[in-house]
Amino acid sequence: MGNHAVAPIRSDLSGGVNVGQRIRESRKVRGLSLKQLAEGAGVSPSLVSQIENNRVDPSLSTLRKIALTLGVPVFALIAESGPEDASLIPREKRRRVSFPRGGLEYEIIHSELTKKMGIMIGTLQPGGMTSEEPLAHDGEECLVILNGSLRVEFQQSHRELKAGDSLYFDSSAPHRLVNLHKRACRYYLIITPPKF
């Protein structure tokens, strides 16, 4: 299965975010060619071109690799600009990011690039996963399971979490979340710095 086969996002997120355009602009600002970005992300130049032209929705795995190559948080590519004062975001104004084929959705409580942490509520459907393989990034994470169960897979081990459990870990250890159960799992994800 290719990197773009799992968890495509909707190109037009939260009322008009153009993911392909943001990737192209970030790439050009950094002086990277399409080929250089593709090589850094471990995908084909053709896939990057299709993503930039909104012909293909990137998977969360691919989006993370592109963001890492560009040196930006994932949310810089997919989230609307937040309010200047991010200390209060009414529930009805929370942004949502959906990765339908991966069975994953995030309700963003707070995740601004100027802040030190991101807080969101994740929902992982039965059979859903955050990436095809464990991935690493800078920072630290804390998961708090609200309901349901999920597995946190690391390269050499895994942890099974159920409602009420929490897990704090270093994000530089390659990891992914997988729901092997028959019901959706909802969880808080607190992450620093604010990115996936």
Q: What pLDDT, in 10s, does the model give residues 53-83?
A: 988 888 878 888 898 898 887 777 776 554 4
Residue 5: inside a domain? no
Instruction: Report yes or no on 85 lying in a domain.
Output: no
Question: Do 167 and 108 share a structural domain?
Answer: yes
Please state the pTM of the whole predicted model: 0.63
Q: How many CB atoms lie within 10 A of CB 33?
A: 12
Q: Do 114 and 141 share a domain, yes or no?
A: yes
Domain range enclosing 17: 12-78
pLDDT of residue 21: 87
Is 140 in contact with 192 (CB distance < 8 Å)?
Answer: yes
Domain count, the chain: 2
